[in-house]
Structure 1
């Protein structure tokens, strides 16, 4: 039924496309005959021909950002990504493509190795005016790390003017509490060198609510309520320099620091009754104050050499992340205020990542041969200590919760790629080999897991350009997804005193094989991706009716089949009204053993996003963005439908030096997430996550500088040329 609906939708759109073209032709004929029509109403709908705004690059969507009316009212790059076809951003600023894939982020062709928190702060520091384009790669070739199932390539606007150039960006989000973002950017170009410095300060309060109902057949019923206030402050500093040594050689450095402090107050209640709800089993309240610090340090160095058809790139990255967190868990009887339990934790976590790679390519006629080598090493040390209040009011060490865990991973990789163009046809083929050696050591429980495996990972893409308006791409790739530290670490991450999840050090990596077909006609883009993932990493709930504890444990599923159908197209309603529509359909089938049964369901869902841009008098731009997600889920849970609507207005002043924006995100406060366990005979479990994403937004940016003369760019990488 769903497939028929999608086919009908596709046929209707193709019919609309043909009618729109006929209308455009009639309009041209009428114009030649000098027949004028009134413009007081919307008399026609014409597909927008915006080749500069959207195109394909090897089957990947490339979207222009700076100067694009669809993004004029966006406050920062995360806001731009929310409106970019094929990309979604959740309430906690997590970025996804293809429904559930977390992409790697590349800046100007280079991967910036950052922690999640540092990356989010960096993307928030970039205004749309600072970004030239975004490329969404949902099927990366063997040239890239095998764990990259998706890549978002961000091209920044270059300072091609000699002299000083700078900007200030400030955003305020206000509802019950406020949150502020401030970023200062400055660059200086001498012609032979470009220096840049970026500094930022974000601070404020955000809130979160969690409500749950859970029980098993013939046992207790428990209701959980949690309210959280998170007061955070983030300082960031970044400095870099790019040196043009001569026409063939370039050298660049980047130093980064990101420092975060959070004081989180989490209050909750647990209320349990017997099956008939006539007898109260317990009624408790909990307090969970948390103090958290994170310090990030990063260094990136890159060198490039270009001589005729030969190109050499060397890139090195180092990242250091240090996390410290202190928690207190205080549980009291609600009626008497008696302390039932009290434990506290002290956590120290240190991550060091070293990565270096060399890429070389040689052009032979109209063919390119490319090869590369990469080595990466990561070391993670985690020590968490729990102390519990004893009957004599003294804290004693709690070995059942405490944990010392280390994880070391070494990856050696190499690839060989071939690309050649035959008039309108282009072929790209590659083969990557990766050797992974890892050892996880749960010292507290004396569990050591060591692995050493070698994987061959091919890729192939075929591209055909019919003409300037039409092109087609077909690609295949095989990818690996390794479990991350938090999935492996076997200690408890608490959501409430009776609700936590535990890592699994025995998780296996998963492997994904997929095929993607993409087609562009002018500004209409459509793609279909089908694939299969083996040893899928996921979590499952396990409920204990005697203790009322609900655990979420990690495991590997045998496999899942998936398909994604995406289309996006702009429509010019009038001279002052542009609309971009994105429609995505998802299919997911996973084989999930759970307890004593095996569940396998076909899950269909879809998402519709519409972005309206209005060019109003006096240089004012207005934007209305709406997003609807249908009912979805997996073999165990149902996720209910939800939607959001954002409204924003923008105006520039003083020759576009000053830019002001005002908006309201999630104006109906309708984007909370509701989940429900499917199989009531096993467990009735319903819960809701709510974030304070309904906010008034005020934004201001100011550009300044003394740049007057342009410097000629003598050397560009192939990726830079293709992105323009």
Structure 2
């Protein structure tokens, strides 16, 4: 099946480029024979450029979203990001740039301080019609936090009319189970104030499967199977007000809250046979019911003053996250149902994040000078208690698994930036400093790790516009990535009774230096990136032959080298058929010490995406999206190839106020992830993750309101003008 799909994709790709030569050959033949031109449709195909929906801004891809036919059939912003060049969305809604960089999300040029789960719910509430454009910044300058190695800036469409406007967006996904997404967005504009209100409700059931095969040290073969059913609900509300105080001053306030509740059932089995796989050694059944809840509260304030070429702004954020989770781990002998072990866990986790930043800029002729300072403080406390059923049929405190851990981090940062235009050349230079103070306290094991370090982080970029069709840019940056709480916390997270990972409080931050070059010819954009990362944070596995336990532990690798080449181009096959092609190649060289040896391999892989849009009579739009990822991995594991195909159709009604979308994602259920350990002399381990991403969906979006006339826009920044 994989070979057939790959063959069909390559045929389609070759046909796109072959059409131009075919048309040229037919025209030459016609002129020589003076015969009547063919009336066959294919001979009339003329490849031509499509309307410009992409551009570069300082080397960053800027793509229009609202009104872009490539995204007409997308249900929400995650579906849009899947089709955006240079952006990858994995099965758990993780967003990456360049195939490897976890992306920060900005809204209208400002960072979003949300938990990952809250952010996912928010992005699902945004339909393509609500988003003006996306900017993909794969090499942010020193103006931005050094932890932002990649940024996706989402520019929302503004309601510039006075009065009320609203939008409802509802999606339902159906396969073995159903999942529903509902979002209501309202805005009300007066001459001085713009009010906004958003409410969302997502609920339903999702499933996940984990399978593994492992040849044990005693030559037995153990198979692990885990099935998870997750029934959950997410409630969210967000309210804001933007005050146009006068022609120079603007102030905004945003309040939000969300509640997530999950009732998760996880069942599994450990099935062990002898090396011939004919005699059963053991057969264990496990049950792991989980009750999980998360509460989020956030406040954002934004003030700006602008007068001619001078601007000063303040941005403040507060986020509170509370997580509660109760687990039960019950293991029985499958044939006899005899209880083998039983333990419970009770987790409480609380996170508080405060940030405040001030930015000042001054325009002097063709030059812009900018500077700013930022302070952020995060405080995370984690308390997980385990109780194990004893021989006396009583639950007793389990000190070997229980853990109390806290992490406090303060970052004081500042930057200076300079930008100037010399004709067609624009130059940007910046320098940032970040002073980090952190204390991690593993109370249970009486271990405190305190750090205090200062780093200087420069950046430089230059872009040259030859003409309207040709642009070239070059950028350099140095970044720091600090370990997050989950990487530091030394408590166990179980995949199965014999498989779990543990955080490492002694992890060091990593540093990345990279150079990126981007060239645009009309709608064809190509970029190349290469760099080096030191003290790479990663996980490695340790196998205990006595207990058959697999532990995933955190560590710092000395370094890795990386490079990527990405290109994307749209082609208009006919008036009703457009194709956007994306090709990316990646290189990764990882220097990994492991169990007394050093494994250093050069890994090459590539990814191909084809997004086809068919515009049919009566306003119907059909979208066929195909994605293929080649074999990849790292120094320890091989990740096998995979692919997915999505098919969807869209139609607008009632003067474009009503939009309906129908489709099927991952039609062949082919986007699971399979890994295999490379070094069989150490361990033979194979595993597979499967998510229920193969689903039929129906989407309905309706816009309403009584706006009559346009309000005067009192103040717009340079970034806001650029996004229009």
Tell me, what secondary structure is at the counterpart of 2:272? strand
What are the Cα deviations for residues 588-621 of structure 1, in whole angstroms up to 9, with x where unaligned? Answer: 0000001021000010000000000000111000
Tell me, what secondary structure is at the counterpart of 1:235? strand
Q: Determine the structure 2 residue equivalent to 1:236.
A: 236
Tell whether 2:606 aligns with 1:606. Answer: yes
Tell me, what secondary structure is at the counterpart of 2:688? strand
Tell whether 2:39 aligns with 1:41. Answer: no
Tell whether 2:522 aligns with 1:525. Answer: no
Q: Determine the structure 2 residue equivalent to 1:716.
A: 716
Tell whether 2:517 aligns with 1:478. Answer: no
What are the Cα deviations for residues 139-195 of structure 1, in whole angstroms up to 9, with x where unaligned? Answer: 000000000000000000000011000011100000000000000111000121100
The 2-side partners of 1:17 and 1:369 are apart by 50
Task: Kindly indicate whether the alpha-carbon contact (under 8 Å) linking 2:434 and 2:454 is maintained by their aligned counterparts in 1.
Answer: yes
The 1-side partners of 2:48 and 2:459 are apart by 34
The 2-side partners of 1:217 and 1:17 are apart by 55
The 1-side partners of 2:564 and 2:516 are apart by 9
The 2-side partners of 1:187 and 1:563 are apart by 44
The 1-side partners of 2:348 and 2:288 are apart by 18
The 1-side partners of 2:428 and 2:220 are apart by 60
Q: Determine the structure 2 residue equivalent to 1:642.
A: 642
- Once the two structures are TM-superposed, the CA of residue 720 in structure 1 deviates from its matched residue by 1.2
Residues 42 and 251 from structure 1, CA distance in 2 versus in 1: closer, same or farther, beyond 3 angstroms? farther
What are the Cα deviations for residues 497-525 of structure 1, in whole angstroms up to 9, with x where unaligned? Answer: 10000000000000000000000000000
After the TM superposition, which of the residue ranges 279-288 and 596-605 deviates more from structure 2? 279-288
Residues 18 and 370 from structure 1, CA distance in 2 versus in 1: closer, same or farther, beyond 3 angstroms? farther
The 1-side partners of 2:235 and 2:91 are apart by 22
Task: Kindly indicate whether the alpha-carbon contact (under 8 Å) linking 1:219 and 1:545 is maintained by their aligned counterparts in 2.
Answer: no
The 1-side partners of 2:602 and 2:196 are apart by 51
Q: Determine the structure 1 residue equivalent to 2:497.
A: 497
What are the Cα deviations for residues 9-60 of structure 1, in whole angstroms up to 9, with x where unaligned? Answer: 9xx99x9699689979x99xx9xxxx99857335334242432x10000000
Tell me, what secondary structure is at the counterpart of 2:508? coil
Q: Determine the structure 2 residue equivalent to 1:359.
A: 359
- Once the two structures are TM-superposed, the CA of residue 112 in structure 1 deviates from its matched residue by 1.4
Aligned residues: CA RMSD: 2.0
Q: Determine the structure 2 residue equivalent to 1:4.
A: none
- Once the two structures are TM-superposed, the CA of residue 269 in structure 1 deviates from its matched residue by 0.2
The 1-side partners of 2:376 and 2:577 are apart by 49
What are the Cα deviations for residues 520-550 of structure 1, in whole angstroms up to 9, with x where unaligned? Answer: 0000000000000000000011111110100
Tell whether 2:273 aligns with 1:268. Answer: no
Residues 278 and 646 from structure 1, CA distance in 2 versus in 1: closer, same or farther, beyond 3 angstroms? closer
- Once the two structures are TM-superposed, the CA of residue 659 in structure 1 deviates from its matched residue by 0.5
Task: Kindly indicate whether the alpha-carbon contact (under 8 Å) linking 1:220 and 1:545 is maintained by their aligned counterparts in 2.
Answer: no
- Once the two structures are TM-superposed, the CA of residue 317 in structure 1 deviates from its matched residue by 0.3
The 2-side partners of 1:545 and 1:155 are apart by 54
The 2-side partners of 1:130 and 1:42 are apart by 39
What are the Cα deviations for residues 310-367 of structure 1, in whole angstroms up to 9, with x where unaligned? Answer: 0111000000000000000000000110110000000000000000000000000000
The 2-side partners of 1:36 and 1:307 are apart by 64
Q: What is the TM-score normalised by the length of structure 1?
A: 0.95
The 2-side partners of 1:584 and 1:416 are apart by 34
What are the Cα deviations for residues 108-148 of structure 1, in whole angstroms up to 9, with x where unaligned? Answer: 01111000000000000000000000000000000000000
Q: Determine the structure 1 residue equivalent to 2:4.
A: none
Residues 430 and 646 from structure 1, CA distance in 2 versus in 1: closer, same or farther, beyond 3 angstroms? same
**What are the residue-to-residue correspondences of 1:145-294 with 2, within 5 Å?**
145-294=145-294
Tell me, what secondary structure is at the counterpart of 1:41? helix
What are the Cα deviations for residues 240-259 of structure 1, in whole angstroms up to 9, with x where unaligned? Answer: 01010011110001101010
Tell me, what secondary structure is at the counterpart of 2:393? coil
The 1-side partners of 2:522 and 2:50 are apart by 6
The 1-side partners of 2:566 and 2:183 are apart by 35
**What are the residue-to-residue correspondences of 1:15-414 with 2, within 5 Å?**
38=39, 40-51=41-52, 53-414=53-414
Residues 107 and 21 from structure 1, CA distance in 2 versus in 1: closer, same or farther, beyond 3 angstroms? farther
Q: Determine the structure 2 residue equivalent to 1:5.
A: none
Tell whether 2:551 aligns with 1:554. Answer: no
Task: Kindly indicate whether the alpha-carbon contact (under 8 Å) linking 2:414 and 2:434 is maintained by their aligned counterparts in 1.
Answer: yes
Tell whether 2:650 aligns with 1:656. Answer: no
Tell me, what secondary structure is at the counterpart of 1:720? helix
Task: Kindly indicate whether the alpha-carbon contact (under 8 Å) linking 2:23 and 2:46 is maintained by their aligned counterparts in 1.
Answer: no
- Once the two structures are TM-superposed, the CA of residue 99 in structure 1 deviates from its matched residue by 1.0
Q: Determine the structure 1 residue equivalent to 2:510.
A: 510
Tell me, what secondary structure is at the counterpart of 1:454? strand
The 2-side partners of 1:344 and 1:567 are apart by 51
After the TM superposition, which of the residue ranges 41-50 and 86-95 deviates more from structure 2? 41-50
- Once the two structures are TM-superposed, the CA of residue 723 in structure 1 deviates from its matched residue by 2.3
The 2-side partners of 1:392 and 1:217 are apart by 34
Which consecutive residues of structure 1, in runs of 5 or more, have no partner in the other structure? 1-8
Tell me, what secondary structure is at the counterpart of 2:42? coil
The 1-side partners of 2:120 and 2:229 are apart by 20
The 2-side partners of 1:127 and 1:673 are apart by 28
Which consecutive residues of structure 2, in runs of 5 or more, have no partner in the other structure? 1-9
The 1-side partners of 2:48 and 2:435 are apart by 49
Q: What is the TM-score normalised by the length of structure 2?
A: 0.95
Task: Kindly indicate whether the alpha-carbon contact (under 8 Å) linking 1:20 and 1:47 is maintained by their aligned counterparts in 2.
Answer: no
Task: Kindly indicate whether the alpha-carbon contact (under 8 Å) linking 1:49 and 1:522 is maintained by their aligned counterparts in 2.
Answer: no
The 2-side partners of 1:58 and 1:23 are apart by 37
- Give the length in aligned residue pairs: 705
